DNA sequence: GGAAACCATAGATAACGTCTATGATGGATT
DNA sequence: AATCCATCATAGACGTTATCTATGGTTTCC
């Protein structure tokens, strides 16, 4: 495990181009800094600098490490800032799975806002794992994500939805109700890199000896749908993501579905917010309950 | 500055609920861990645990610190992983300002993909500051962001666009070409928390003694627009974000514009990628040049 | 050729992290 | 009520570490 003071030495060398100037900047002597860099290189297991003719250059490992070192120290600063901030007015911090429909989430929260105009909802995107982690580390209160059988103390089950394949409206297949993998053999595929059924989708095609050409990959579903609408290719999405800019068709034999849930806080809420939380949970259940999204 | 080994002690205490068990988990003795927690509390300047009747509870500061401590150690793990990863096939890492139109960016990249089908483009969202930081720390190659007069070595200037106010189509003002602040005095305001002209927007209304009610705040522009379309309120957006779900009107006297630019790599590209980069820059200039977005 | 600049090593030393031993406190048991 | 047990805090000892000064080795500049 590396030491933060060594990261400071490392960044000082990168910024100054010299061990001697870096030592000045970090208020130690040059031999101390030299030994510190040596120690850091031992900790990470490979050289970070190439010393050549009294000059210092980053190695490939050093270049790769540099943004990470900055991120670590940035997180440390955020940690100190978090401690310094005065407690702000309480808000509801809601995580939302990136693959959820913006429109559906917007409508859900619009209705909630009408019912509870004083509540501030902070919305955070994330992958399943990110949302789970943030619930665990208490940086989120609630999360809308995929249900995987968690107990009722952790999750309020919501509705099911299936996956469909979306295409530009002018696509030759856009009038069809359902197609097979072979129908898409010559088509372009857009990859939503955060799709829950990414590997299933891949297997669906490879099992039928079909290999659509991958032309674009993005974690941002709105961008993926925009790319479909723009005509660059098609992609698999949960049904609720379909909008009027694209055409949805079924994939024969692709029967995967996902069930959503509202994940509950993993810590004891303050007394002042338990009623607010209960109201929020009821609202979500009313709007997105097991019978589907309320129209 | 805090020490990482102390963060490990801290998390062990949180996870086990006890200094003694945390000491076991971190392979030190209980007095060592106790002193370590004391040292960490000195470093951060406030108590993180409340010791009460031989039990340990997180203080408010400790609760606030916990996700940050986890994030720091997570970044350290990412740093180590980054060093361990073998060099992957080179890609073009493009940062895109969160307030850019998904549709416009999608079309830009769709055209590029047609011209250069073999290039993998990784797209990352961020605020201006985040994109600048990531260009600086070399975790992005290019970025599409707001131009603020940077030199040609850093940025390729693109087109201008103005800001407009968007409303749900059925709004009473939606037929008008232009409105004043007073016309919106009783309306609801959605805040795109990453808008470049957030403070100017606030000042526009307060200068005219108007205080629209803030009902929703989100960093996600797609969600903000979905909320407008859902009828919850209106918001200020750059013109290119307007789509058919909403109505755009001008705000009288709100003359702010933004100029976009393609920000260039802040390091020497490898020889193998200089041609690719030049092609990409030309593509962007052709599509989003100073005359506006190519239709 | 000598001076200057810069990184690496050696040895000394103060500071540090950890140990054992023990104290203080409160709850559980008898 | 007395005793035992569990747990955190403190004290002192000690091995290790981070930093210092001194100096060596190499390269560049004048």
Q: Chain A contacts of B67, Cβ < 8 Å?
A: 134, 137-139
Which of B57, B122, B187, B218 should we substitute to test contact with A (largest number of A Cβ atoms within 10 Å)?
Answer: B218
As for how many domains chain B has, the answer is 3
CB A262 within 8 A of CB A145: no
In a domain, A77, yes or no: yes
Chain C nucleotides with an atom closer than 7 Å to a protein C-beta: 5-11, 17-22, 25-27
pLDDT number for residue B269 = 63
* Per-residue confidence band for B87, with pLDDT thresholds at 50, 70 and 90: very low
* Per-residue confidence band for A88, with pLDDT thresholds at 50, 70 and 90: very low
Q: List strand residue ranges (DSSP E) for B1-140, in order.
A: 49-52, 55-58, 92-97, 121-126
Query: What is the distance between the alpha carbons of residues B287 and B290, in angstroms, rounded to a whole number?
Result: 9
In a domain, A293, yes or no: no
B110 touches chain A (CB under 8 A): yes
In a domain, B45, yes or no: yes
Digit-coded pLDDT (tens) for A234-258: 899 988 888 888 899 998 888 888 8
B138 and B266 share a domain? yes
* Per-residue confidence band for A14, with pLDDT thresholds at 50, 70 and 90: very high
B189 and B48 share a domain? no
Q: Which residues lie across from A126 on neighbouring strands?
A: A97
- Torsion angles phi and psi, residue B200, rounded to 5: -65, -40
In a domain, B235, yes or no: yes
Q: Please count the residues of chain A.
A: 295
* Per-residue confidence band for B85, with pLDDT thresholds at 50, 70 and 90: low
A271 and A146 share a domain? yes
Looking at residue B215, which CATH number applies to its domain?
A: 3.40.190.10
* Per-residue confidence band for B224, with pLDDT thresholds at 50, 70 and 90: confident
Which of B76, B106, B144, B267 should we substitute to test contact with A (largest number of A Cβ atoms within 10 Å)?
Answer: B106
Under the phi-then-psi rule, with left for phi > 0, alpha for psi from -120 to 50, and beta for the rest, what region is A231?
Answer: left
B271 and B137 share a domain? yes
Question: A63, A84, A105: which is the final residue of a domain?
Answer: A84
Looking at residue B13, which CATH number applies to its domain?
A: 1.10.10.10
Query: What is the distance between the alpha carbons of residues B74 and B94, in angstroms, rounded to a whole number?
Result: 24
Percent of chain A with pLDDT over 70: 92
Q: Which of residues 163-202 of B touch A (CB under 8 A)?
A: none
Distant-in-sequence, close-in-space partners of A206: CB < 8 Å, separation ≥ 6 = none
Digit-coded pLDDT (tens) for A168-227: 888 888 888 888 888 888 788 888 887 888 888 888 888 888 877 777 777 778 778 888
pLDDT number for residue A89 = 43
pLDDT number for residue A216 = 74
Percent of chain B with pLDDT over 90: 18
- B249 sits in which H/E element: strand B247-251
B232 and B105 share a domain? no
Burial (CB count within 10 angstroms: exposed 0-12, middle 13-18, buried 19+), residue A290: exposed
pLDDT number for residue A87 = 42
Query: What is the distance between the alpha carbons of residues B200 and B258, in angstroms, rounded to a whole number?
Result: 13
* Per-residue confidence band for B288, with pLDDT thresholds at 50, 70 and 90: confident
- B143 sits in which H/E element: strand B142-146
Digit-coded pLDDT (tens) for A124-179: 777 888 888 888 767 778 899 988 888 778 888 888 889 999 998 888 888 888 88
Query: What is the distance between the alpha carbons of residues B39 and B57, in angstroms, rounded to a whole number?
Result: 17
Q: Is the pLDDT of residue A12 over 90?
A: yes
Task: Give the residue nearest to nucleotide D7 (CA to C1').
Answer: B54
Distant-in-sequence, close-in-space partners of B59: CB < 8 Å, separation ≥ 6 = B46, B47, B48, B49, B50
Query: What is the distance between the alpha carbons of residues B74 and B69, in angstroms, rounded to a whole number?
Result: 9
Which 3 state secondary structure label does DSSP give A250? strand
Which residue from A11, A141, A152 is spatially nearest to A74, judged by alpha carbons?
A11
B242 and B169 share a domain? yes
A20 and A153 share a domain? no
pLDDT number for residue A270 = 55
ipTM for this prediction = 0.47
CB A266 within 8 A of CB A142: no
In the predicted model, what is the mean pLDDT of residues A32-51?
Answer: 89
C-alpha torsion sign, points A34, A37, A43, A44: negative
In a domain, B295, yes or no: no
In a domain, B103, yes or no: yes
Query: What is the distance between the alpha carbons of residues B5 and B57, in angstroms, rounded to a whole number?
Result: 20
CB proximity A32–strand D (7 Å threshold): yes
B248 and B172 share a domain? yes
**Mean pLDDT estimate for chain B:** 82
A237 and A108 share a domain? no
According to DSSP, the β-strands at A213-218 and A188-192 are parallel
A65 and A41 share a domain? yes
CB B65 within 8 A of CB A47: no
A128 and A74 share a domain? no
In a domain, A105, yes or no: yes
Which domain range does residue B67 map to?
A: 4-84
A205 and A76 share a domain? no
pLDDT number for residue B268 = 63
Min Cα distance A175 → chain B (Å) is: 23
In a domain, A295, yes or no: no
Query: What is the distance between the alpha carbons of residues A146 and A163, in angstroms, rounded to a whole number?
Result: 13
pLDDT number for residue A86 = 39
According to DSSP H, which parts of B157-251 are helical?
198-207, 221-229
In the predicted model, what is the mean pLDDT of residues B256-271?
Answer: 79
CB proximity B18–strand D (7 Å threshold): yes
């Amino acid at each position: 495990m590396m030491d933060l003071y060594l990261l400071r030495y490392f960044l000082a060398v990168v910024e100054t181009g010299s061990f001697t100037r870096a030592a000045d900047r970090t208020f130690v002597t040059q031999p101390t800094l030299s030994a510190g860099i040596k120690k850091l290189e031992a900790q990470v297991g490979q050289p970070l600098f190439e010393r050549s003719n009294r000059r210092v250059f980053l190695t490939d490992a050093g270049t790769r490490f540099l943004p990470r070192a900055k991120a670590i120290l940035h997180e440390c600063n955020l940690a100190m800032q978090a401690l310094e901030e005065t407690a702000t007015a309480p808000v509801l911090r809601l995580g939302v799975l990136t693959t959820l429909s913006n429109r559906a989430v917007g409508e859900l929260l619009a209705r909630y806002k009408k019912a509870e105009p004083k509540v501030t909802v902070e919305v955070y995107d994330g992958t399943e794992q990110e949302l789970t982690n943030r619930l665990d580390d208490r940086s989120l209160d609630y999360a809308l994500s995929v249900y995987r059988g968690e107990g009722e103390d952790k999750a309020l089950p919501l509705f099911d939805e299936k996956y469909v394949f979306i295409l530009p409206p002018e696509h030759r297949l856009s009038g069809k109700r359902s197609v097979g993998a072979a129908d898409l053999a010559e088509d372009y595929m857009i990859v939503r890199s955060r799709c829950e059924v990414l590997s299933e989708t891949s297997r669906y095609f490879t099992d039928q000896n079909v290999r659509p050409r991958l032309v674009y990959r993005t974690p941002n579903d709105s961008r993926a749908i925009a790319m479909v609408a723009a005509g660059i290719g098609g992609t698999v999405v949960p049904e609720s993501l379909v909008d009027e800019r694209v055409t949805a068709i079924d994939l024969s034999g692709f029967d995967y579905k996902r069930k959503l849930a509202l994940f509950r806080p993993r810590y004891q809420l303050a007394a002042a917010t338990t009623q607010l939380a209960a109201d929020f949970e009821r609202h979500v259940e009313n709007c997105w309950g097991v019978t589907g999204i309320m129209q």
